[in-house]
Amino acid sequence: MSGEEEENAAELKIGEEFLRAKCLMNCEVALILDRKYEQLQQLSDDPTNQISQVFEKSMQYVKRFSRYKNQDAVRQVREILSRYQLAEFELCVLGNLCPETVEEAIAMVPSIKRKGRIHEDDAIEKMLNDLSLIKKFE
Amino acid sequence: MVFFEVEMQWNVLISPNELDAKGLLLQKAIIVHLMEEFANRKASKEHGYYVAVTSLNSVGEGKVRGLTGDVLFPVTFSCITQKPAKGEILQGSVEKILKHGIFLKSGPMESIFLPEKTMKDYRYVAGENPVFLNDKHSKLEKDTIVRFKVLGFKWLEYDRQFQLLATLAGDFLGPI
């Protein structure tokens, strides 16, 4: 059913375009779309022309599923996750789903435990603790 | 759901009455046309869903079209897109419950099917409001938030969207 036979996000076998592109977490997209929405209202007398269904549905979605709401917290999440040599795609999945345990993190992003990568359980646990601290102090 | 920020180059067609010597109005016309075009295209097989234009990066030299006098401007812009990946774990909400499975939606993706046979121990329970229940009384009903894995997807050219096949087979998947 899939386009490319070998593609598998669990093993980080995703299209070249995914690996090269800058990935964004739900909470980052929520901040951008909020700002965009205001601009669109000002830009046009009839903003419905530019606010597509895709825009609207994405905005509803990221607002509902963002674990971090304020701008500082969102920035800190990326900063913390960036310390762990993750691919952009992995970073975003972790920041979106906020796993609570090491087992859950590995189930969500199996590629972080793949051979040859430095992610020991201790390192993953520290990363999850750091993330939950942001949530607590937000 | 993972979004992407990418740079693209498209052509924008401006009609002669929108051309303005002072430049500012032209700039606005280009932005408005680009936004409209972006919203209308909805999605493509290659880039996924077109969510939002974030910035206009450059406008190239316009080329006049002989017959109409319209001017075609090549523009480079940054935008946010969203495309599913096989094996990716997503969250979505239950849209519709059928005997042989559940339809979910997740952001711009509206056609996600979770077949009954990929739902582990969940069983269909008929009724006015049908649900899926498992032995531990975990329930899937309309609007339940579900964490699922993308088993596969295909691009539907005629309605310009992706159709996804989901599964709950795996740890930490199911209603949350």
- Dump pLDDT digits (tens) for A60-74: 999 999 989 899 999
Same domain, yes or no: B74 and B94: no
Instruction: Identify whether residues B99 and B171 lie together within a single domain.
Output: yes
Last residue of a domain, one of B82, B108, B135: B82
* Interface with A, mutate which of B6, B28, B42, B51 (most A CBs under 10 A): B51
**Confidence (pLDDT) at A1:** 46
pLDDT computed for residue B82 by the predictor? 96
Determine the Cα–Cα distance for residues B23 and B14; give it in Å rounded to an integer. 13
pLDDT exceeds 60 at position B99 = yes
Task: Find, among A23, A33, A28, A31, the residue nearest to A56 by Cα.
Answer: A33
Give chain B positions within 8 Å (CB) of A35. none
Q: Report the CATH number that the domain containing residue B65 is assigned in CATH.
A: 3.30.1490.120
Give me the numbers of helices (H) and strands (E) for chain B, helices first please: 1, 14
- Same domain for B106 and B140: yes
Residue with token string 């495309």: B83
B126-176 tens-digit pLDDT: 999 999 999 998 999 999 999 999 999 999 999 999 999 999 999 999 998
CB < 8 Å to B166, chain A: none
CATH of the domain at B138: 2.40.50.140
Q: Is the pLDDT of residue A8 over 90?
A: no
Which pLDDT band holds residue A39 (cuts at 50, 70, 90)?
Answer: confident
Residues B98 and B165 both lie in one domain: yes
Residues in chain A within 8 Å Cβ distance of B82: 58
Two structure tokens written together for A138 = 């937000």
Dig out the tokens for B11 from the structure.
Answer: 């052509």
Tell me the mean pLDDT in the region A29-37. Answer: 95
State which residues form the domain around B62: 3-82
- Indicate whether B104 and B46 sit together in one domain: no
What is the pTM for the complete model shown?
Answer: 0.90
Q: Which residues of A touch B107 (CB under 8 A)?
A: 57-58, 61-62
Single-letter amino acid code for the residue at B49: Y
Residue B15: left (phi > 0), alpha (psi -120 to 50), or beta?
A: beta
Tell me what pLDDT residue A117 has. 73
**pLDDT at residue A63, rounded to an integer:** 95
Q: Looking at the structure, do residues B77 and B96 belong to the same domain, yes or no?
A: no
Statement to judge: residues B171 and B102 lie in one domain: yes
Pick from B82, B111, B130: which residue ends a domain? B82
Asked if the model's pLDDT at residue A126 lies above 80, the reply is yes
Residue B62 C-beta-side C-alpha neighbours within 13 Å: 18
As for the ipTM of the complex, it is 0.91
Report the C-alpha gap between B52 and B77 in whole angstroms. Answer: 11
Whether residue B146 lies within 8 A of chain A, CB to CB, comes out as no
* B118 and B166 together in one domain: yes
Interchain CB distance below 8 Å, A32 and B54: yes
> Cβ of A50 under 8 Å from any chain B Cβ?
yes
Q: What domains can you pick out in chain A, each with its CATH number?
A: 1-138 (1.20.1250.40)
- What percentage of chain A carries pLDDT values higher than 70? 83
Average pLDDT over residues B27-55: 92
Within an 8 Å CB–CB cutoff, is residue A32 touching chain B? yes
pLDDT in tens, B12-36: 999 888 877 666 788 888 988 999 8
Q: Do B153 and A3 touch (CB under 8 A)?
A: yes
Q: What are the tens digits of pLDDT across the range B76-98? A: 999 999 999 999 999 999 999 99
pLDDT range class, residue A45, cuts 50, 70, 90: low
Q: How many domains does chain B have?
A: 2
Residues of A in contact with B104 (CB under 8 A): none
pLDDT at A44: 65
Looking at B82, B114, B129, the residue that finishes a domain is B82
Task: Write the residue in A49, A53, A65 that is nearest to B36 by C-beta.
Answer: A49
Chain B residue with CA closest to A35: the answer is: B54
Question: How many angstroms separate the CA atoms of A104 and A70, rounded?
Answer: 25
Do B109 and B76 sit in the same domain of this protein?
A: no
Cα four-point dihedral sign A39, A41, A44, A48 = positive
Q: What's the pLDDT score for residue A4? A: 47
